[in-house]
Amino acid sequence: MTTPNPPVVPLPAEIESGGAPFVLDGSTAVGPDPDAESVRVAEQLAAHVRAATGLPVPVRPGDTGAAITVGRADGSGLGAEGYTVVSDAAGVAVRADAPAGLFYGTQTVRQLFDPHERAVAAARVRDVPRFAWRGAMLDVARHFFGAADIERFIDLVSFYKINVVHLHLSDDQGWRLEVFRRPELTRVGASTQVGGGAGGYLSQEAYREIVAYAAQRFVTIVPEIDMPGHTQAAIAAYPELSATRAEATPYTGTDVGFSSLRAGSAATTAFVEDVVAELAALTPGDYLHIGGDEALSTTEDDYAAFMRAALPVVAGHGKRVVGWQEIARADLGPEALVQYWDHRVPQHAARAASAGAGLVVSPATNVYLDMKYHPDFPLGQDWAGCVELRDAYDWDPATVVDGVDETSVVGVEAPLWTETIVTMPDVETMLLPRMPAVAEVGWTPAARRGWDDFRGRIRAHGRTWQAMGATFHRSPQVDWD
Ligand code: TNX
């Protein structure tokens, strides 16, 4: 008989459990290495434990005798994100070669921790991720979500070792980022959203704060400005950008594919330069996402011309480009990343892979978090079918696209589109429990994964979400604790 794995999600590459747990008391302290990053990660862990237990849990930099230690492993071959955790009756040790690994190790400790018993389950963990890109996307364009909501989203996903948060910052229904050289984008373009509500936007200051908040959780923000389609909000602000009939109001419905920037015009060239320049300056991460999806009213020639002009602008500002799969119609270099989403046209992704571009895989049928869980579910869409928890879990990135193997796949990403999603409880309901399933797809070696084991581990997380005040879908596929 094998003992079930402790409820750690994503499942670590190696974990052995069993034995007496470490029980915290009023004298338990955290002793990080004295460097600033180790201390910060230790402070974050201590804050969670304090909130859950009311214990003082002081942080004492350099105290190697503390019961909980957090520090460098020195050359153990764990890489930038790997870590070890050893917990037993005497204490807990988190070790990594780099700060991100320390952070991931402490997320594992949080998941081994039972707040009622004040105990960390005994375990020996050695863990490294399968894929470098483990993403979640939030569409703040269809319905606007501000900095506090985005930070809450980052809290939830980083607990599952997600390291990329992709923000969909513009669409037909709203432009959501302040651009100093283009004030009408926010004055006009941010003034509404799906259904006609007030909309809103992130000031550059708020955006920087989000980037910093994410960095403290080892999350890279990948901002997306969607072009040349999905641009009605920009066109409402600057009608000269339009390839077709320009209407001066942002759109509040949910159709796609009707708007397009005019390729090759001086107005469009200047616009792309202004927006990309400011966005690149605001974004420390390597990547800018330029959309490129569903440009259904852009001719084939115009699409090619638009991308021929836009791709060098991104490169010229020192960033690597990411685009939705349709961008594979343009000539991409090997530094580009292409995001696969639509199973109805897999040839785009295959073409990108054969050109040497990396793929982020987001198969709508498995990881579109805006799909309904079941046909009667009150939130979400169903064009890609319903996506229950097992659908989000039971698939493999290396075999999901015909003609694309693991060497081309940089990782996975779960997008949450918000045409039907209005509030944070809506966001949480669509995210939980599917996002943790996708996080495991991105992190855990394929040979280690199994639905029955996952189902057994995720059941304990319902309590954690309740304690966090998060709403979740009580999937009937899980016997929730
Ligand atoms: C397709 S996925 C879209 C989005 C919609 C989504 C709704 C993609 C690149 N484009 O514009 O919000 O479907 O599920």
Could you tell me if residue 452 is inside a domain? no
Extract the tokens encoding 5.
């794995």
Pocket flag, ligand 1, residue 417 (CB < 6 Å): yes
Assess if residue 8 is contained within a domain: no
59 and 144 together in one domain: no
Residue where a domain terminates, one of 127, 146, 169: 127
In this structure, the answer to whether residues 274 and 382 fall within a common structural domain is yes
How many angstroms separate the CA atoms of 466 and 425, rounded?
12
| Rg of the Cα atoms in the chain | 23
324 lines ligand 1 (CB under 6 A): yes
Between CA 112 and CA 121 the distance in angstroms is 5
Answer yes or no: are the C-beta atoms of 243 and 271 closer than 8 Å: no
Residue 374's closest CA among 437, 429, 450?
429
Distance 370 CA to ligand 1 centre (A): 9
Mutate to test the pocket of ligand 1, among 225, 256, 362, 419 (most ligand atoms within 8 A of CB): 256
**Domain assignment present for 1:** no
d(CA 440, CA 191): 38
Same domain for 121 and 141: no
Instruction: Find out whether the beta carbon of 254 lies less than 6 Å from any atom of ligand 1.
Output: no
- Which residues lie closer than 8 Å to 466 by C-beta, 6 or more apart? none
Ligand 1 atom nearest to 381, measured from its CA: 14
> φ and ψ at 381, to 5 degrees?
-115, 175
Nearest CA to ligand 1 atom 4: 417
Binding site membership of 251 for ligand 1 (Cβ less than 6 Å): no
Type of residue found at 429 = T
Ligand 1 binding pocket includes 258 (Cβ within 6 Å): no
Dihedral angle over CA of 160, 164, 170, 175, nearest 10: 80
The residue whose CA is least distant from atom 8 of ligand 1 is 293
Q: 141 and 106, same structural domain?
A: no
- Give CA angle at 337 (334, 339), nearest 5°: 145
* CATH assignment of the domain containing 374: 3.20.20.80
Residues 364 and 243 in one domain: yes
Rounded distance from Cα 417 to ligand 1 centre (Å):
7
In a shared domain, residues 71 and 172: no
Distance between Cα 108 and ligand 1 center (Å): 33
Domain assignment present for residue 145? The answer is yes
Residue 110 is part of a domain; what is its CATH number?
A: 3.30.379.10
Please, what is the end-to-end C-alpha distance for the chain in angstroms?
22
Is the same domain home to 157 and 106?
Answer: no
Of residues 390, 423, 300, 404, the one with CA closest to residue 352: 404
Domain end, chosen from 127, 149, 183, is at 127
pLDDT at residue 1, rounded to an integer? 40
Task: Kindly state the helix (H) or strand (E) to which residue 167 belongs, with its residue range.
Answer: strand 164-168
Distance separating alpha carbons of residues 262 and 149, to the nearest angstrom: 34
Instruction: Flag whether 72 is in a domain.
Output: yes
Residue at 472 is within a domain: no
Q: Which two tokens stand for residue 395?
A: 């698939």
Q: Is residue 163 domain-shared with residue 42, that is, in the same domain?
A: no
Q: Nearest residue CA, atom 2 of ligand 1?
A: 341
Give strand pairing partners of 407. Answer: none
Domain of 57 in residue numbering reads as 14-127
Instruction: Using CB atoms within 10 Å of the CB of residue 45, give its burial: 0 to 12 exposed, 13 to 18 middle, 19+ buried.
Output: buried
Element (H, E) at 390: helix 389-393
With a 6 Å cutoff on the Cβ, whether 256 touches ligand 1 is yes
Closest-CA residue to 387 (of 371, 403, 407):
371
**Residue at which a domain ends, from 76, 96, 127:** 127
- The ligand 1 atom nearest the CA atom of 230: 11
> Would residue 150 count as lying in a domain?
yes
Residues 71 and 211 in one domain: no
**Does ligand 1 have an atom closer than 6 angstroms to the CB of 381?**
yes
Q: Phi and psi of 426, rounded to 5°?
A: -60, -45
Q: What torsion, rounded to 10 degrees, do the Cα atoms 182, 188, 194, 195 define?
A: 170
Judgement on whether residues 309 and 371 belong to the same structural domain of the protein: yes
- CB distance 440 to ligand 1 below 6 Å: no
256: its two tokens: 């796609």
Determine the distance separating the centroid of ligand 1 and the alpha carbon of 419, expressed in angstroms. 9
Which atom in ligand 1 lies closest to the alpha carbon of residue 291? 9
Q: What is the pLDDT of residue 2?
A: 56
Pocket test for ligand 1, best of 139, 232, 259, 294 (most atoms within 8 A of CB): 294
Q: What are phi and psi of 70, to 5 degrees?
A: -135, 115
Cβ-contact 357, 338 below 8 angstroms = yes
3-class SS of residue 452: helix
CB burial class (10 A; 0-12, 13-18, 19+) of residue 4? Answer: exposed
| DSSP 8-state class, residue 21 | P
- Six token digits for residue 358: 């990396």
Take atom 10 of ligand 1 and give the residue whose Cα is closest. 293
Number of domains in the chain: 2
Q: Which atom of ligand 1 is nearest to the CA of 325?
A: 9
Q: Residue 403: its pLDDT value, please?
A: 86
Cα separation, 162 vs 157, whole angstroms = 6
Q: Which residues contact 36 (CB under 8 A, 6 or more apart)?
A: none
Q: Is residue 70 part of a domain?
A: yes
Q: How far is the CA of 371 from the centre of ligand 1 (A)?
A: 11
pLDDT of residue 3: 66
Q: How many CB atoms lie within 10 A of CB 285?
A: 17
Q: Are residues 214 and 102 in the same domain?
A: no
The DSSP call for residue 194 is G
Give the integer Cα–Cα distance in Å for 29 and 64. 10
Q: Which is the closest atom of ligand 1 to the Cα of 326?
A: 9
- pLDDT tens for each residue of the chain, 481 residues long: 456 899 999 999 999 999 999 999 999 999 999 999 999 999 999 999 999 999 999 999 999 999 999 999 877 789 999 999 999 999 999 999 999 999 999 999 999 999 999 999 999 999 999 999 999 999 999 999 999 999 999 999 999 999 999 999 999 999 999 999 999 999 999 999 999 999 999 999 999 999 999 999 999 999 999 999 999 999 999 999 999 877 888 899 999 999 999 999 999 999 999 999 999 999 999 999 999 999 999 999 999 999 999 999 999 999 999 999 999 999 998 899 999 999 999 899 999 998 899 999 999 999 999 999 999 999 999 999 999 999 999 999 999 998 899 999 999 999 999 999 999 999 999 999 999 999 999 999 999 999 999 999 999 999 999 999 999 999 999 999 9
Q: For the sheet containing 91-96, what is the strand order?
A: 14-17, 123-127, 83-88, 91-96, 68-72, 30-32
| Mutate which of 225, 226, 293 for ligand 1 pocket (most atoms within 8 A of beta carbon) | 293
* Catalytic center residues: 294
Residues 101 and 242 reside in one and the same domain:
no
Q: What distance in angstroms lies between residue 311's CA and the mean position of ligand 1's atoms?
A: 22
Q: For atom 6 of ligand 1, which residue has the closest CA?
A: 417
Ligand 1 site, residue 370, Cβ cutoff 6 A: yes
Extract the tokens encoding 148. Answer: 């506090």
Binding site membership of 81 for ligand 1 (Cβ less than 6 Å): no
Name the residue of 338, 417, 430 whose CB sits within 8 Å of the most ligand 1 atoms, as the mutation to test its pocket: 417
Tokens in use for 36?
């600033």
